[in-house]
């Protein structure tokens, strides 16, 4: 039995509440039994539902740890969650990297509040010899398999607010378009809808359409044909299987360069969000 530890800002949140079942479900596909066994959270009481860390641990049959260091010593693998508080990831990651003895880690989206912090986390992982990856679950949508460096993409999706939930569309964009974005602007800002245009150095273009009411979708031109997809609901279980395969020894599923591409697009997009029809350059 391989034991996983969850690090979170407050533990009773959507990801921590759903990941244990998917981990159990997808373990069979990986050929190893995994279990969420340990948890640590900085804030004792959940901000959304008032559930305490003790109550959460009792429900999910986990041991509450008194520190990140204790969790890292006891766990075989570590998942740093805190999906709505990426400003905490540098602090938590550094403490985990110091104490995990090179155990593999997954860090949830949004990876970091900005590209500078993202680079600091990566540099610390190199310093302490820890392999990790991070992604939005939408990278693992079945509908996006096989696409890379396509001619153009139009990605739709929603969520509670644009700065937090646009990460999903950006991840889908980088998955299908690859790297090479240079600048971004917001073309539409009306009635809760934002449409962003992304320009690439080779002349390609991608569009991100955010609306709180949208399900996820993609229209992709790979240069041979144009296909339009409604994204199904299998991406989160697919992500958890990908994490378990990584924990079980498979190579990193994609390079950190793609993660930095995602972070740089998001960073420029947040500036564009306040400056309609103005091109914002991505950081070099």
pLDDT per position as a tens digit, 219-262 = 999 999 999 999 999 999 999 999 999 999 999 999 999 999 99
Q: Are the CB atoms for 238 and 145 separated by under 8 Å? A: no
* Nearest one of 248, 258, 283 to 269, comparing CA atoms: 283
Mean pLDDT computed over 204-225: 95
Helix 89-99 vs helix 115-128: angle between axes, to the nearest 10 degrees?
0
CA triple 197-265-114, angle to 5 deg: 150
Q: How far is Cα 193 from Cα 212, in angstroms, rounded to an integer? A: 8
> What's the chain's length in residues?
284
pLDDT in tens, 95-141: 999 999 999 999 999 999 999 999 999 999 999 999 999 999 999 99
Lowest mean pLDDT among 10-24, 161-175, 186-200, 226-240: 186-200
Per-residue tokens: 1: 């039995």
Over residues 86-91, the mean pLDDT reads 98
87 pLDDT band, cuts 50/70/90, is very high
Which pLDDT belongs to residue 112?
Answer: 97
Whether residue 189 is predicted with pLDDT greater than 90 in this model: the reply is no
For residue 218, pLDDT beyond 90: yes
| Residue among 65, 126, 128 nearest 95 (CA) | 128
CB of 133 closer than 8 Å to CB of 281: no
What distance in Å separates the CA atoms of residue 253 and residue 250, rounded to the nearest whole number? Answer: 8
Residue 192 pLDDT: 83
Average pLDDT over residues 36-63: 97
Domains of the chain: 2-135 (3.40.50.720), 138-232+265-281 (3.30.360.10)
- At 146-181, the pLDDT tens digits run 999 999 999 999 998 999 999 999 999 999 999 999
Tell me the whole-structure pTM to 2 decimals. Answer: 0.96
State the Cα–Cα distance between residues 220 and 239, nearest whole angstrom. 22
pLDDT band (50, 70, 90) for residue 284: confident
Per-residue confidence band for 21, with pLDDT thresholds at 50, 70 and 90: very high
């Amino acid at each position: 039995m391989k034991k996983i530890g969850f690090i979170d800002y407050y533990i009773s949140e959507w990801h921590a509440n759903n990941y244990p079942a998917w981990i159990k479900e997808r373990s069979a596909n990986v050929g190893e039994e995994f279990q969420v066994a340990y948890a640590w959270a900085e804030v004792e009481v959940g901000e959304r539902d008032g559930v305490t860390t003790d109550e959460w641990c009792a429900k999910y049959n986990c041991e509450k740890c008194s520190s990140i260091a204790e969790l890292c010593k006891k766990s075989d693998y570590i998942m740093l969650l805190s999906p709505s508080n990426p400003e905490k990831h540098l602090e938590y990651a550094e403490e985990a990297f110091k104490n995990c003895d090179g155990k593999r880690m997954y860090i949830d989206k949004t990876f970091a509040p900005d590209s500078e912090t993202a680079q600091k986390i990566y540099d610390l992982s190199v310093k302490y010899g820890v392999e990790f990856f991070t992604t939005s679950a939408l990278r693992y949508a079945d509908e996006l398999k096989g696409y890379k460096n396509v001619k153009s993409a139009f990605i739709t999706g929603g969520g509670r607010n644009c700065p937090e939930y646009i990460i999903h569309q950006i991840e889908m964009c980088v998955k299908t378009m690859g790297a090479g974005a240079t600048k971004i602007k917001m073309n539409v800002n009306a009635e809760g809808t934002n449409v962003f245009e992304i320009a690439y150095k080779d002349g390609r273009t991608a569009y991100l359409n955010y609306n709180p009411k949208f399900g996820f979708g993609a229209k992709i031109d790979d240069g041979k044909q144009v296909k339009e997809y409604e994204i199904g609901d299998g991406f989160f279980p697919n992500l958890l299987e990908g994490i378990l395969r990584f924990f079980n020894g498979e190579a990193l599923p994609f390079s950190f360069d793609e993660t930095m591409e995602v972070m740089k697009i998001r960073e420029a997009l947040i500036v564009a969000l306040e400056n309609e029809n103005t091109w914002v350059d991505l950081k070099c």
